Structure 1
Amino acid sequence: MTQPVSPLPDRGPTGRRTAKGALSGTAARRVERPAPLRQVVYEALAELIVNRTLEPGQHLVEADLAEYLGVSRQPVREALQRLQTEGWVDLRPAQGAFVHLPTDEEADHLLGVRSVLEAYSARLAAGQAGPEDVKRLWELHHEGIEALADDDIEAVVAANSSLHAFVTELSGNSVLAEMIALVDRRVRWYYTPIARPRGHDAWHEHAQLIEAIAAKDPVVAEEIMTRHTERTRQAFHDRPREEPQS
């Protein structure tokens, strides 16, 4: 039987929160084989960044991450290099690896692209969705409302992603789906810190969107999705600012 990871100190010698501190309060997430180990470690670390277990600006220590995941330092090092290439991690000379701190400009670029893609997706979905599809949309909406009532932010973000993904699926456009999938993980990263303040407004907008899709009104569905994604972009700008840890 795998022994549990021992408690880890929350702060490094400079007083900043470290990966040890972030991970010590959560259950160890041992990676599984036979998938290529470097890929599994990459996915695990990316998800820890997206759900903000590892916070923007946070120092990442290879040894701590390797212990948490139950692997050697080599796949962790490879994963950090890949995450750096993709913009999730910053590698600083003589300092080490840090979770990237997103800028408003980066958010504008990505959320602007997402708005265009998802507005078109909603327009197409309104012309394609049948009664069973609409029923599934309401089920996903209910999951989000329940998660919001429970103040389960991780579940809220997951439900939001699932609902948007299903609208994309209903569009019937595989190229569009591939393009939206490319930005989905980063959208979830930006959405996590604003899921609570967006709260009921976001899910009310989702309800309006579902009603437009059910009415097979592509123009209204597109307009609602455009407003919805723009309000999400603005909420990210209005969030409390994240300060880099030094």
Structure 2
Amino acid sequence: MQSNELPKELAARRIDRPVPLREHVYQAMQELIISRRLAPGQHLVESELAQMLGVSRQPVREALQWLNNEGWVDLRPGYGAFVHAPTQDEADQLLAVRSLLESESARLAAVHADAEGIARLRDLNRQGIEALASDDVDTAVALNAAVHRCVTELSGNKVLLDFATQVDRRVRWYYTPIARQRGEQSWQEHAKLIDAIENRDADAAARIMKEHTERTRKSYLEQRVEDGEDDQQLIALPTRRRRKAAKA
């Protein structure tokens, strides 16, 4: 009979490896983009990023390629790297999908959530209100994401959680510029949602979540119009000329 155990020489090769530096740089740059410290359309200079992050240019170059592959950065031959500026369609489509996913998460959470999970939701919401009161936008955005993630975790559906995790960072990116605009109303909507989950009212929880995410989507699109961010402006190439090749 064939053994299911790995040969000892193979099992012995399993080792814990430290996270590559480029991954740390990737994560740091992604957070800077999400928080809008690196703004959409901003030119990213390798040497400046390396100095700011305290690393060499190589991991920065690798992180930029990674961010480009995932749609956070645009690499434009002859011009350089730029923070991706999402078009209206990109944002609209992602936020619409988010609304569908999280409405179902809320419905399931009302069926499966226990007292401990509901208490965790209320605590996160309380912290969010406090962050809003102190005008701590970064913390408020992070706690907003935490509330939504907690609802999805309480749904008990791991597939939903996987999908929600994939769109979470992008949602934070879109939510950051409207966090103050949504303000107290957003956290009041969270409180109503938590009440519905605690009352085991699945239909109400799904409806409240759908209305809540749709308001965020509408606020983001309205903010783009107010800021004059038409798609043509966002995707335009910079006006600087390509550098001429140095003479031999």
TM-score (norm: length of structure 2): 0.84
Q: Confirm whether residue 84 of structure 1 aligns to residue 68 of structure 2.
A: yes
Q: Partners of 1:132 and 1:84 in 2: how far apart?
A: 40
The 5-angstrom pairing of residues 66-145 of structure 1 reads: 66-145=50-129
Q: Partners of 2:113 and 2:75 in 1: how far apart?
A: 46
Deviations 1:31-50 (A, max 9, x none): xx932111111111111100
Q: Confirm whether residue 64 of structure 1 aligns to residue 48 of structure 2.
A: yes
Q: Which runs of 5+ in 1 are unaligned?
A: 1-32
Code of the aligned partner of 2:33: I
Q: Partners of 2:157 and 2:117 in 1: how far apart?
A: 16
Worse-superposed segment, 116-125 or 70-79: 70-79
Q: Which one of the candidate residues 139, 147, 169 is aligned to 1:185?
A: 169
Code of the aligned partner of 1:49: I
Q: Confirm whether residue 48 of structure 1 aligns to residue 36 of structure 2.
A: no
Deviations 1:206-234 (A, max 9, x none): 01100100100000000000000000000
Q: Partners of 1:136 and 1:57 in 2: how far apart?
A: 38
Where does residue 218 of structure 2 map in the other structure?
A: 234
Q: Which runs of 5+ in 2 are unaligned?
A: 1-16, 239-248
Q: % of aligned pairs identical?
A: 60
- Runs (4+) of structure 1 exceeding 2 A deviation are 240-246
Where does residue 194 of structure 1 map in the other structure?
A: 178
Q: Which has the larger radius of gyration?
A: 2
Where does residue 218 of structure 1 map in the other structure?
A: 202
Q: Partners of 2:161 and 2:118 in 1: how far apart?
A: 19
CA RMSD of aligned residues (A): 1.4
Q: Partners of 1:66 and 1:101 in 2: how far apart?
A: 22
Code of the aligned partner of 1:105: D
Code of the aligned partner of 1:101: A
Code of the aligned partner of 1:67: Q
Deviations 1:38-77 (A, max 9, x none): 1111111111100111011101000000111111111111
Deviations 1:52-104 (A, max 9, x none): 11011101000000111111111111111111111111111211111011111
Where does residue 151 of structure 2 map in the other structure?
A: 167
Q: Partners of 1:69 and 1:88 in 2: how far apart?
A: 18
Worse-superposed segment, 74-83 or 233-242: 233-242
Q: Which one of the candidate residues 5, 9, 18 is aligned to 1:34?
A: 18
Where does residue 23 of structure 1 map in the other structure?
A: none
Where does residue 130 of structure 2 map in the other structure?
A: 146
- Secondary structure of the residue aligned to 2:103 is helix
- Secondary structure of the residue aligned to 1:187 is helix
Deviations 1:104-162 (A, max 9, x none): 10011100111000000000000011222211111011001000000110011011011
Q: Which one of the candidate residues 176, 187, 191 is aligned to 1:207?
A: 191
